Copies of this chain bind each other. A is one copy, B any other.
Amino acid sequence: MHVAIIGIGLIGGSVARDLRRTGFAARLTGVGSSPERAQIAQDLGLVDRVTDLAIAVREADLVVLAIPVDRIVRLLPQVMDLVTDRQTVTDMGSTKKAIVESIARHPRRRRFVASHPMAGTENSGPAAALDRLFENKVAVLCDLEQSAPDAARTVEALYAALGMRLVRMDAATHDLHAAYVSHLSHVASYALALATLEKEKDDNAIFALAGGGFASTARLAKSAPDMWVPIFRQNRTALLDAIDAYQRQLQALRTAIDANDESAMRTLIEEANQIRRILR
């Protein structure tokens, strides 16, 4: 199969590595967001060639959009204008509702499969691409009833090649879940980094004791604004709901600590410990 990857950064580059290794893609074409990044992707051998969007889309069996979600919303209608009934298009964006809405009434809508592989790191760019980044993780397919069955099968085969487990849900449900278990984690981590960095202005040794616990909780705060600002904007309503829930729980913890209320602290921590059911 000939696969065109639009955006050959961390996600697109990692997809390219796995599709080449597994033989899923006989041919890989990349489209870079800048000539510099395209050159790095080609130098790294991630794709067979880089070219412009129109050529890449026209020649591909499968087009994968692996770019920030604001750029997906702008570019996807143009891509759909170019494809025929023999071709399939998918995206790997972290939001789904705004993306499916961007082509809701497009005559080629059924050639598109909305998807979201739940994998990544805090790094970005083609040099950050990894082998087996997706293995044993979850990929979400959304609103499948609006996709042609053969297009859905092609994208299912793509994620099977990446070693992912599939979950199916509608786009609105995806965005609500992602707000809680992915986007909120990033907000919490950014706030932790900001609070400690602010303290560092008064006390430049504040990080002398930073260990594994801090590293784990603040890791996501390294994530790039080009990716995350558009996600926060597109998933604003669900994310605000999640932040409100988070602020209420944080305030409950603060109130218990302020009151030096041992029993209230213990109750909250024991409840939080239930996360062991989910995270083993």
Query: What is the size category of the interface that chain A forms with chain B?
Result: 35 or more
Contacts of A245 in B (CB 8 A): 195, 198-199
Of A181, A194, A209, A273, the most chain B CB neighbours within 10 A belong to A209
- Closest chain-B Cβ to A97's Cβ sits at a distance in Å of 15
- Closest chain-B Cβ to A242's Cβ sits at a distance in Å of 7
Q: Does A85 contact B (CB under 8 A)?
A: no
Q: Given A198-B249, A236-B257, A249-B191, are A275 and B221 neighbors across the interface (CB < 8 Å)?
A: yes
Contacts of A145 in B (CB 8 A): none
Q: Does A211 contact B (CB under 8 A)?
A: yes
Bound state CA distance, A140 and B138, in angstroms? 41
Q: Does B219 lie within 8 Å of A279, measured CB to CB? A: yes
Q: Does B269 lie within 8 Å of A225, measured CB to CB? A: yes
Could you say how many copies of this chain the assembly holds? 2
Q: Given A118-B209, A217-B216, A270-B225, are A188 and B181 neighbors across the interface (CB < 8 Å)?
A: no
Q: Does A195 lie within 8 Å of B266, measured CB to CB? A: no
Q: Does A191 lie within 8 Å of B246, measured CB to CB? A: yes
Q: Does A82 contact B (CB under 8 A)?
A: no
Among listed A3-11, A37-45, A170-178, interface-contacting one? A170-178
Bound state CA distance, A184 and B250, in angstroms? 11
Among listed A18-26, A73-81, A200-208, interface-contacting one? A200-208
**What secondary structure prevails in chain A residues at the interface with B?**
helix
Contacts of A138 in B (CB 8 A): 208-209, 211
Q: Does B194 lie within 8 Å of A228, measured CB to CB? A: no
Q: Does B232 lie within 8 Å of A265, measured CB to CB? A: yes
Q: Does B182 lie within 8 Å of A269, measured CB to CB? A: no
Q: Which residue of chain B lies nearest to A222 when distances are taken between CB atoms in the complex?
A: B276
Q: Does A217 lie within 8 Å of B217, measured CB to CB? A: yes
Bound state CA distance, A189 and B190, in angstroms? 13
Q: Does A184 lie within 8 Å of B192, measured CB to CB? A: yes
Q: Does B181 lie within 8 Å of A211, measured CB to CB? A: yes
Q: Does A35 contact B (CB under 8 A)?
A: no
Contacts of A239 in B (CB 8 A): 257
Q: Does B120 lie within 8 Å of A212, measured CB to CB? A: yes
Q: Which residue of chain B lies nearest to A241 when distances are taken between CB atoms in the complex?
A: B199
Q: A188-B192, A193-B272, A239-B257 are in contact. List 9 more A-B contacts (CB 8 A).
A: A138-B209, A177-B206, A181-B211, A185-B218, A190-B253, A194-B252, A222-B276, A229-B266, A247-B251
A sample of 13 cross-chain residue pairs with beta-carbon separation below 8 angstroms, ordered by A number, consists of: A138-B211, A181-B196, A182-B213, A184-B196, A187-B257, A189-B217, A190-B253, A195-B245, A196-B275, A198-B245, A219-B279, A222-B273, A236-B260
